[in-house]
Structure 1
Amino acid sequence: MQRPPEPSHPSRRTLVAASGALGLAAAAPAARAAAQPGEDAAWLQAVLERFAGFGGKASGGPGDEASGAWLEDELRGAGYACRRQAFEVPFLDPRRVTLAADDSRADLIAHVLGPVTGAAGVSGPLRLAAAGGDLSGAIALVTLPHKRWVTLVDPMAAQPLEEALRRGAAAAVLVTTGPTGEAIALNVSPHRPGPARPVAILAPKDAAPFLAAAAEGRPATLTVDADVGRRPAWNLIARLDRQAPKTLVISTPRSGWFGCAAERGSGLAVWLSLARWLAGADPGVNVELVCTSGHEFEYLGGEHYLEHAAPRPEATALWVHVGASTAARDWHEFGRLRPLPSADPQRVLTATRDVIDRVRPAFAGVTGLEAVLEATAATAGGEMTNVLKAGYATAIGQYGVHRYFHTRADDLGCTSGELVRPVAAAFRAGINACLTEAPRA
């Protein structure tokens, strides 16, 4: 499906204006109260535009670094004590990642942990992996079923890829069949070995000539020419220490494959609005905010925070995780995708049993999030799964997969301050209910 033209990226003038509007501590307390932080759509839109303006958010890359520094400045200005938790991440900075066969050529997304080919590429017959048989020396074309794809840890993606490489393929190309026709980048685990041979991802909208070539075994060349290695990344940790016995933790990821305007930006806008609210409120707990990098590597930054920096479970009053696709746009699918003013309901909210009845009223009427599920290992998604496994007994966690998730097209057309506003207000109400209402028997 073809997508309508996207709005242009914000100008430098727009970003400067947005920066001036974002200062968390700029307004007097009375003015901040009147503005109802978290319900101001214009302020939230400015946050989205500023985040989008930093470009790609690959872990440890320029956009990830710059957006983290910006958030650090915002929180310091609001009175939070900030520190950085450093760790290392893999990286792949592409020069050219392409598939060529006959007169057709397409740009691909490289598997960040796979080997590169250099400028010469790897050549061989292009073959359909689903056709069976020996793939020795071939470039295997692996067409995945229709899905809103997230990760290569998913067996539906991992197993056909591994099978093609076991059958001798010299390289593999995945076609991530999904809701938009765009190539969908897939998260990878740094704790598992990468593929032994080059792997890349092809957009379904570009696949037709290569499927035809693969059906006949015609020659093709896959090129993965890139700089690879490891580089530093960091989590931002911001704290208001009020000498309380317990701490409220609010986490959100910062990094992602591309611009991540809706995937990451909408959650960050909620997270920053909560920081703004808590800077002027006293819910009787310390406040710790964490904004993690390393998300594409199966939540690597979140793992580091849990292992080395998070408050102990017994010292944590509530953990709130604001995850992916918090407030992304929905789309009509008649002939081509057409934007709607409403939010994509493919988002999930979970809460632990002790607080679920207090969380549900706060999210009533927020599509997708109003059906609050009990947070368990089976229902929780993203980083919240690790939080529960680490023993945090009282928690709220949100995640989602919008249509343009993990694609280069996840830009400002995929979200807005108006879409974020009700979610931010609901999170604030839910947190307030969990911290102020008496526990129920």
Structure 2
Amino acid sequence: MDQNAPLSASRRAVLGVGATLLAAAPVTGAQAGAGGSEADARRILERYAGFGDKAAGGAGDDACGAWIEGELKALGYACERQPFEVPAYEGEAPSLSIDGARATLIPQAIVQPTPGLTGRLFVPQRGEGEIALLVLPHARWSTAKGEVERRVKAATEAGAKAVVLVTTGPTGQALALNTPADKPLFDVPVAVLAPRDADPFVEAAAKGAPATLRMPGRSFRRPAFNVTATLSRGAPKTLVLSTPRSGWFGCVGERGSGLAAWLQLAAWAARSKLPVDLALVATSGHEYEYAGGETYIAHAAPKPAATALWVHLGANVAARDWHERGLQLGPLPSADPQRFLLASPPLVEACKAAFAGQPGLEQTYPADPKRAAGELSSILSAGYDPVMGIFGAHRFHHARGDDLSCVSPALIPPVADAFAKVIARALTKAA
């Protein structure tokens, strides 16, 4: 099979247990690999992509959650929905206009709408005006907190009434940025402009030319839900398997690859004879500083003392890598190595052995909330141990182009199999 071939869509153009837990021993009571097939991975990826945009609480996210419930119930899990609220924006897409050019933007959540703000477009520290144009340095941008937040606030302190970000990165596309769920991070309208569309606006900003920013839609809150699932065996402790399902746009590489590996692990765990109960969660609200994950940890997850092991499959579990050919990207059959595997110290050597040869994952880092990202950081900060999990950012992370062309089904089973081997050895040895 040609691993470079797209699936069914055309190309659209980060990062407890005793030391004897993992002593070498034959694995008993569980299959030594997840046993998921490439065909099954293809089925999951195509179905996930078919739901379209997965913004938390939106139609695609809700439909995806309902589908996941069906998948888990068919495996024998008891499912429940855990509701919570998330921010949302609907209506006309924001735009930035100058004489001779107009570009469609991504609204920066939590959105501060404006029916139309006209003023001088300017680059902070190089001019003055009302609409600041911030060209960010090259990176795989994913959050508005931290560096972006600092730059935006400096611009508003300099007099900006609105800010347009240019998320310079590996694809030329605009990148949506995560943000806290409880209140707006910024007091002024903020939106994101694609680097490939930025040149005329950079020239206009250098001259202090007039520009108009429109973001007239509605900013509101709506319901979302986590899908939680359990399979009780009367065991004293529980194995937790978690993954986010929501995200910006289609997020097939970012979210879909992890979801596919997670579902393969869920099927393996259900048919295994591991000496643990099972608890699964597919969270919504990831874009809002992991709101669904925080809600699950606070109100539904097994307590740390009752958890045998927590395995988290976060962003970029198995997205494909790309060759750079000037401004063009050529697909590769291998996985994007910008994915990080963290594990509690007693699990590190077993992870290195199980994930050997998988780009990025062959290097296992000791689990530390300060080194982790996403929900994995929340899990570690809550005191869970042992833990292992993946997070990362592939080239199309948070871009509209994160579609089926960003994944290859062949990359999914090796990740699920490696996790299954470490889980089985850890839990059967601990038992």
Judge same fold: TM > 0.5, yes or no. yes
1:70 aligns with 2:63: no
TM-score relative to the length of structure 1:
0.89
User: What is the match of residue 77 of structure 2?
Assistant: 80
CA distance in 1, matches of 2:47, 2:272: 25
- Which range moves more in the overlay, 425-434 or 365-374? 425-434
| Structure 2 Cα separation of the partners of residues 356 and 372 of structure 1 | 6
* Aligned equivalents of 2:150, 2:356: Cα separation in 1: 39
Q: Is 1:411–2:408 an aligned residue pair?
A: no
Distance 1:353 1:209 in 2: 51
Q: Return closer, same or farther for 1:130/1:338 CA change in 2, 3 Å cut-off.
A: farther
Is the counterpart of residue 144 in structure 1 residue 144 in structure 2? no
Q: Secondary structure at the residue paired with 2:224? A: strand
Q: How far did residue 152 of structure 1 move? A: 0.7
Contact 1:38–1:270 (CA under 8 A) maintained in structure 2? no
Given the superposition, is the C-alpha separation of residues 356 and 6 from structure 1 closer, same or farther in structure 2, using an over 3 Å criterion?
closer
Is it true that 1:291 corresponds to 2:282 in the alignment? yes
Tell me the CA shift for residue 247 of structure 1: 0.1
Deviates most, 311-320 or 412-421: 412-421
Tell me the equivalent position of 2:296. 305
Contact 1:106 1:206 in 2 (8 A): yes
State the secondary structure of the residue aligned to 1:429.
helix
Is 1:431 the counterpart of 2:428 in the alignment? no
* Partner of residue 201, structure 2: 210
**Contact map agreement 2:109 2:184 (CA 8 A) in 1:** no
Contact residue 130 and residue 142 of structure 1 kept, 8 A: no
Paired residue total? 408
Residue 354 (structure 1) aligns with = 346
- For residues 7 and 160 of structure 1, the distance between their equivalents in structure 2, rounded to whole angstroms, comes to 40
Structure 2: distance between partners of 1:8 and 1:50: 11
**What is the Cα deviation at residue 379 of structure 1?**
1.9
Deviations 1:35-76 (A, max 9, x none): x75441011011000000000000000000000000001111
Partner SS, residue 284 of structure 1: coil
Mapped partners of 1:317, 1:330: distance in 2: 34
Q: Distance in 1 between matches of 2:329 and 2:35?
A: 30
Deviation at 1:201, TM superposition (A): 0.2
The alpha-carbon distance between structure 1 residues 5 and 77, as it changes in their structure 2 partners (threshold 3 A), is closer
The residue aligned with 1:122 is: 117
Deviations 1:206-261 (A, max 9, x none): 00000001100111111112222110000000110110000000100010010011
Match of 2:218 among 222, 227, 244: 227
- Quote the residue 1:169 is aligned against: 160
Q: Give the Cα–Cα distance (whole angstroms) in 1 for the partners of residues 229 and 198 of structure 2.
A: 45
Cα distance, 1:382 vs. partner?
1.1
Q: Which secondary structure state, in structure 1, belongs to the residue aligned with residue 340 of structure 2?
A: strand
The answer to whether the 8 Å contact 2:111/2:184 transfers is no
Separation of aligned partners in 2, 1:284 and 1:309: 21
Unaligned runs of 5+ in 1: 11-32
1:98 and 2:95 correspond? yes
Alignment of 1:183-194 (within 5 A): 183-191=174-182, 193-194=184-185
Larger relative contact order (CA 8 Å, sep ≥ 6): 2
Q: Is the contact between residue 36 and residue 416 of structure 2 (CA under 8 Å) also seen in structure 1?
A: yes
Measure, in 1, the Cα distance between the counterparts of 2:7 and 2:349.
Answer: 40
- Please give the per-residue CA displacement for 1:290-331, whole angstroms capped at 9, x wherever unaligned: 000000000000000011111010000000000001001101
- Structure 2's unaligned 5+ residue stretches are 11-29
Please, which moves more after superposition, 122-131 or 258-267?
A: 122-131
Q: Distance in 1 between matches of 2:235 and 2:175?
A: 44
Moved segments of 4+, more than 6 Å: 4-7
In 2, the alpha carbon distance for the partners of 1:145 and 1:225 equals 29
User: Is the partner of 2:90 in helix, strand or coil?
Assistant: strand
Q: Is this contact kept in 1: 2:93–2:106, CA < 8 A?
A: no
For 1:110 and 1:71, the matched residues in 2 are separated by 29
Structure 1 residue aligned with 2:368? 376
Q: Which residue identity is paired with 2:78?
A: A
SS of the residue corresponding to residue 69 of structure 1 reads helix
Deviations 1:76-115 (A, max 9, x none): 1111000010001110124221111111111110012131
- Residue 5 of structure 1 and its aligned partner are, at CA, apart by 11
**Offset at 1:147?**
0.6
The answer to whether structure 1 residue 45 and structure 2 residue 45 are counterparts is no
Map residues 383-402 of structure 1 onto 2, 5 A cutoff: 383-402=375-394
**Percent identical residues:** 52
What amino acid sits opposite 2:118 in the alignment? Answer: S
2:335 partner amino acid: A
